[in-house]
Amino acid sequence: MAIFGTRPEAIKMAPVIKEIEANPDTTPVIVVTGQHQKMLQQVLDIFSIHPDYDMQIMEKQQTLSTITSKVILGLDAILDNEQPDLVLVHGDTTTTMAASLGAFYHQIPVGHVEAGLRTWDKYSPYPEEMNRMLTDDVADLYFAPTPLSKNNLLQEHHPESQIFITGNTAIDALRYTVHADYHHDVLTQIPQDHKFILLTMHRRENQGQPMRDTFEAIKDVVTHTPKLDVVYPVHLSPNVQTVAHEVFDGVSGIHLIAPLDVTDFHGLAAQSYFIMTDSGGVQEEAPSLNKPVLVLRDSTERPEGVTAGTLKVVGTHTDSVQQAMLSLLHDQKEYQAMATAANPYGDGRAAERIVTICKDYCSHKNQR
């Protein structure tokens, strides 16, 4: 049973579901919590995934407590009804953490896809660092994307025999979405001799002043740099929508658009000059697309991308964001080094490995 609820979980669980579907020995039961509505549906449509259960929990301005309690309560009947051999969750959202706990309460084993990412800072990202630690406390199988994430799990004394380095399924997903001849309407608004930056920003710890400071910095650079545009698909969270429109509305060269489906996002990312983001998933995808990323956060749980050279953590202060943008725009050597770094997140075959391990685990479990 795969349980997920938000856009990034769906994108990175999709290759695993496709692999389970393609395998004659395994049957997926797909449960969406509906923590996201529209942004989740976009992904389900692209990958032709049809949930068996939709818990439809989303509320405007939802709190972490309501998400958690609704997921745990809602899963009771579903888990009783289906009695799955294994529950799979992905990443670090509140759906992930609550679904793991729900499965544990039913004594059903949990496989954690993208296990072991850490910043070691409880509040950055918030609440995701704690969500993934709690999920790893409950999990029985750990699918660590890299040797570093495996090492993080070992440091917390999770059993080595249950940890598997698989690569990140984000890279598998790119195989389904990236097309060379991609076109989007927003591109017709950007003159051909302009460069454009693709921007996303949504994290809870950035909402409020950090987000406003970052947007002001970007506005200033775009206003003073000829032939530079920004494309920003704005997350549907009201806390993000409000600040984005307050700072950017009416600014020439800044294009606010609706959240893109994942094919569109990857298509635009591939044509951008560079990316600015506080997203987790985008940090993993960018090295495969050969795009430098300025990470709009104080820390990252993806240090592999920093070591490889693709990611630069720049924070959210106006000065540091401006300096990082100007440096990447004007220093060709820095740009080339970031754009040509190797992808540390795997070979695009993570889902295949995960499903093989799950099958093996379930057949041993059923023999006991």
Name the residues that contact ligand UDP, by CB under 6 A.
7-8, 11, 200, 202, 233, 259-260, 262, 265-266, 279-282, 285
Write down the least CB distance from residue 312 to ligand UD1, Å.
Answer: 20
Inter-CA distances, 45 with 11, 19, 50, 57, 191, Å: 11, 17, 8, 19, 31
Active site residue 202: yes
Q: Out of ligand UDP, ligand UD1, none, which partner does residue 88 contact, by CB within 5 to 8 A per kind?
A: none
- Is there a contact between 33 and 105 (Cβ–Cβ < 8 Å)? no
Active site residue 224: no
Q: Which of 118, 132, 235, 266 is catalytic?
A: 235
Q: Which of 106, 184, 204, 349 is catalytic?
A: 204
Residue with Cβ nearer ligand UDP (243 or 282): 282
Write down the least CB distance from residue 238 to ligand UD1, Å.
Answer: 5
Write down the least CB distance from residue 333 to ligand UDP, Å.
Answer: 28
- Is there a contact between 263 and 181 (Cβ–Cβ < 8 Å)? no
The DSSP-derived string for 84-103 is: -S-EEEETTSHHHHHHHHHH
Here the tokens at position 120 are 């070691």
Q: Which of 9, 92, 229, 284 is catalytic?
A: 92
Inter-CA distances, 6 with 26, 133, 189, 196, 211, Å: 24, 19, 30, 27, 21
Q: Which of 9, 19, 128, 261 is catalytic?
A: 128
Q: Which of 118, 202, 266, 353 is catalytic?
A: 202
Q: Out of ligand UDP, ligand UD1, none, which partner does residue 237 contact, by CB within 5 to 8 A per kind?
A: ligand UD1
Q: Under DSSP, is residue 150 helix (H, G, I), strand (E, B) or coil?
A: helix
Q: Out of ligand UD1, ligand UDP, none, which partner does residue 352 contact, by CB within 5 to 8 A per kind?
A: none
Question: Based on the number of CB atoms within 10 Å of its own CB, is 22 exposed (0-12), middle (13-18) or buried (19 or more)?
Answer: exposed
What gap in Å lies between CA 334 and CA 336, rounded to an integer?
Answer: 6
Q: What is the CA radius of gyration of the chain?
A: 20
Residue with Cβ nearer ligand UDP (166 or 300): 300
Active site residue 158: no
Write down the least CB distance from residue 139 to ligand UDP, Å.
Answer: 18
**Positions that interact with ligand UD1 (CB under 6 A):** 6-8, 35-39, 58-62, 64, 93-94, 127-128, 202, 236-238
Residue with Cβ nearer ligand UDP (7 or 312): 7
Question: How many beta carbons lie within 10 A of that of residue 147, not counting itself?
Answer: 12
Active site residue 204: yes
Nearest C-alpha neighbor of 352 from the set 147, 148, 91, 166: 166
Residue with Cβ nearer ligand UDP (145 or 280): 280
Catalytic residues: 92, 114, 128, 202, 204, 235
